[in-house]
Amino acid sequence: MEEQQQQPQQRKGPIPLDWDTLLDDTPAAELVVKPSAMASDQEPQSFVPGLEDLKDYELDEQIRRKKNTLNTAGRNLPDRGAKLRAVIRCYEEEVHRRK
């Protein structure tokens, strides 16, 4: 306890940095960006995983339930139900794909 009182309190603040020493004058390495395959070139992936595993009646039931949720709570959601409509659209596209 006495040792702490004898030491002068050090001033707190930013660490003094010598930027000339830290940063050299050499230019940064050049970054090469390689193009990747376009999203349209790849096989489309479902927005909702596992849709292809659902049976037809399960798919219809999910669509009915999600539409009911959209009608009852959609306007109260922060995005006004945009995500829910996108999910419903994915379910309906799966139904059309199967026919």
Domain-by-domain residue ranges, the chain? Answer: 48-99
Which 8-state DSSP code applies to residue 62?
Answer: H
The answer to whether residues 92 and 98 touch, using CB atoms and an 8 Å cutoff, is no
State the maximum Cα–Cα separation within the chain, in Å, rounded to a whole number. 86
Tokens linked to 42? 């790849």
User: Per the confidence metrics, is the pTM higher than 0.85?
Assistant: no
pLDDT tens digits, the chain, 99 residues: what are they? Answer: 555 555 666 778 888 888 888 887 777 788 888 887 665 444 455 578 888 899 999 999 999 999 999 999 988 999 999 999 999 999 999 999 998
